[in-house]
Amino acid sequence: MTYNTTKISKELKSWEQVKEMLAGEDLDPQTLFDTLDGETELVEVLCAIKESALEDKAAVKGLDTYISDLQGRKSRIQKTIETKDSIILSTMERADISSLKSSLFTISKRSTPPKVIINDESEIPSSYWKQPDPVLDKKALKDALKDGEVPGAQLSNGGIALSTRIL
């Protein structure tokens, strides 16, 4: 079943109407729930939406795996490109060819600037190291807010979340 707000609204309205009709009855919560469930399709609609969400979650996991596989393939192709370019460059150097032209491209050898080679990181002075940006310790901040006020922050009122346990 697809996510259909009209169906949800209709079933919720039916649920509320039946619940209102039973308001004067002395029913325990489980009996009331069972009666409402039997008279409406709200539970079925909500369960169908959750099933659809679980299918979407499985699709996301599958896509994550597929994306990971594609990234591995991309890396292998990039390595192949580097290898092919290296073969061309070394062959051009040995043959003393400075440039080649075809109908699609021109290949030229060019000088590259020197690269940094690290021999021993422990000997490099600290002035050449970058520090990461500061990261807010939200757990410590939350603990401090529980004990009192902290300028620039406050605790929310909390809320209600949906919990799903797969049987």
Give residue-wise pLDDT tens across range 43-63. Answer: 999 999 999 999 999 999 999
Chain segment 113-145, per-residue pLDDT in tens: 989 999 999 999 988 999 999 999 999 999 999
Chain segment 97-107, per-residue pLDDT in tens: 999 999 999 99
Separation between Cα atoms, residue 1 and residue 49, nearest integer Å: 7
Q: For residue 5, is pLDDT > 90? A: no
Distances (CA, A) of 115 to 82, 112, 118: 17, 9, 10
Q: What is the mean pLDDT of residues 84-88?
A: 96
Res. 75 pLDDT band, cuts 50 70 90: very high
Query: Where in the chain are the domains?
Result: 1-67
